[in-house]
Amino acid sequence: MLETADPQALARFYSELLGWEITKEDSDGAAVAPPEGVAYIAFQLSEGYVSPVWPAQEGVQRMTMHLDFEVVDLHAAVAHALELGAQEAGHQPQGNVRVMLDPAGHPFCLYLDGDNS
């Protein structure tokens, strides 16, 4: 569950990013899920939502979790995420990983398996 000021918009972002379907959408939240499987990502309306920062900074809202998505082509995956409204984080600690920020500011990683770097 990710908190956000606009759960429907964040659901649309992740639906397009991952190719998952929006399985729930109401005034308090939304969710996306893959075509097959039991996993899903939910988005909950949070009044007064404050985006986390990454990397962590003293006295500022910290990230409490992040999502990792393995990709086949890192350059193409980053370009796709940027087209959908993500931003690339300023600090990139690894060559085979790109830390991205979704439209609500939640960090997520796009990465190549170690065999592909």
Is residue 79 classed exposed, middle or buried when 0-12, 13-18 and 19+ CB atoms within 10 A define those classes?
Answer: exposed
Q: What is the mean pLDDT of the chain?
A: 91
Does 117 score more than 50 pLDDT?
Answer: no
- This prediction's pTM: 0.85
Cβ 52 vs Cβ 87: under 8 Å? no
pLDDT at 51: 84
Rounded distance, CA 70 to CA 51, Å?
24
Q: CB neighbours (10 Å) of residue 112? A: 18
pLDDT tens column, 48-95: 898 888 787 788 777 677 899 999 999 999 999 999 999 999 999 899
